[in-house]
Structure 1
Amino acid sequence: MSLRPTLRLRLTLLNGVLLVGAGAILLLLAWLLVRDALHPTDELLPGTTVTLADGRTLDAAQWQRRLVDTTSWELLAEGLGALLAVSLVGVAGAYAVAGRALRPLHQVTATAQRLGEATLDQRIRWSGADDEVAELAKTFDAMLDRLADSFEAQKRFVANASHELRTPLAVMRTEIDVTLSDDEADLAEYRRMATVVRDASERANGLVDALLLLARSEAQAGRALGRRTECDLAAGVANALSAVRREVDRIGLRVRTSLEPAPVLGDPGLLDRLAGNLVENAVRYNHLQGRMWVRTGSDGRRSWLVVGNTGFEVHQADVPGLFEPFRRGGQERTGARGSGLGLSIVRAVCTAHGGRVTAVAQPGGGLEVTVTLPAPGAAPVEAPTVRTGAADGSPGSPH
Structure 2
Amino acid sequence: MAGRALRPLHFVTATAQRLGEETLDQRIRYSGADDEVAELARTFDAMLDRLAGAFESQKRFVANASHELRTPLAVMRTEIDVTLSDDEADVAEYRRMAKVVRNASERANGLVDALLVLARSEAQSGRRLVRKVPADLATSVYNALSAVKAEAERMKLDVTTDLQAAPVVGDPSLLDRLAGNLIENAIRYNHLMGKLWLRTENADGHARLVVGNTGYEVDPGDVPGLFEPFRRGGWERTGSRGSGLGLSIVRAVCDAHGGTVSAVAQAGGGLEVTVRLPAADTTPVVAASATVPRAKGLGIAPG
How high is the TM-score relative to the length of structure 2? 0.90
Residue 116 of structure 2 is aligned with which of 212, 222, 233? 212
Where does residue 6 of structure 2 map in the other structure? 99
For the residue of structure 1 that corresponds to 2:22, the secondary structure is coil
Q: Distance in 1 between matches of 2:221 and 2:86?
A: 50
Residue 38 of structure 2 is aligned with which of 117, 120, 134? 134
User: Does the alignment pair 1:226 with 2:130?
Assistant: yes
Determine which structure has greater relative contact order: mean sequence separation of CA pairs < 8 Å that are 6+ residues apart, divided by chain length: 2
Where does residue 24 of structure 2 map in the other structure? 120
Q: Distance in 1 between matches of 2:99 and 2:116?
A: 26
Q: Distance in 2 between matches of 1:294 and 1:274?
A: 13
CA contact (8 A) 2:216 2:234 kept: no
Residue 305 of structure 1 is aligned with which of 209, 213, 229? 209
**Which structure's CA Rg is the greater one?**
1
Aligned partner letter, 2:137: L
CA contact (8 A) 1:347 1:356 kept: yes
- Indicate the larger mover: 298-307 or 146-155: 298-307
Residue 256 of structure 1 is aligned with which of 149, 160, 174? 160
Where does residue 186 of structure 1 map in the other structure? 90
Task: Map 1:2-41 to 2 at 5 A.
Answer: none
Residue 278 of structure 1 is aligned with which of 179, 182, 196? 182
Where does residue 228 of structure 2 map in the other structure? 324
CA contact (8 A) 1:111 1:122 kept: no
* 5+ residue gaps, structure 2: 283-303
- Indicate the larger mover: 242-251 or 329-338: 329-338
Residues 332 and 155 (structure 1), Cα distance of their counterparts in 2 relative to 1, 3 Å cut: farther
Aligned partner letter, 1:96: G
How high is the TM-score relative to the length of structure 1? 0.69
Q: Distance in 2 between matches of 1:124 and 1:334?
A: 42
CA RMSD of aligned residues (A): 1.4
Where does residue 288 of structure 1 map in the other structure? 192
User: Does the alignment pair 1:370 with 2:268?
Assistant: no
Aligned partner letter, 2:212: G
Where does residue 169 of structure 1 map in the other structure? 73
Aligned partner letter, 1:98: A
Aligned partner letter, 2:14: A
Where does residue 24 of structure 1 map in the other structure? none
For the residue of structure 2 that corresponds to 1:255, the secondary structure is strand
CA contact (8 A) 2:168 2:207 kept: yes
Deviation at 1:330, TM superposition (A): 6.4
Tell me the percent identity.
76
For the residue of structure 2 that corresponds to 1:297, the secondary structure is strand
CA contact (8 A) 2:217 2:234 kept: no
Residue 339 of structure 1 is aligned with which of 240, 243, 266? 243
Deviation at 1:331, TM superposition (A): 6.2
1:265-310, CA deviations, whole angstroms, 9 ceiling, x for partnerless residues? 0001100000000000000011111111010111261110000011
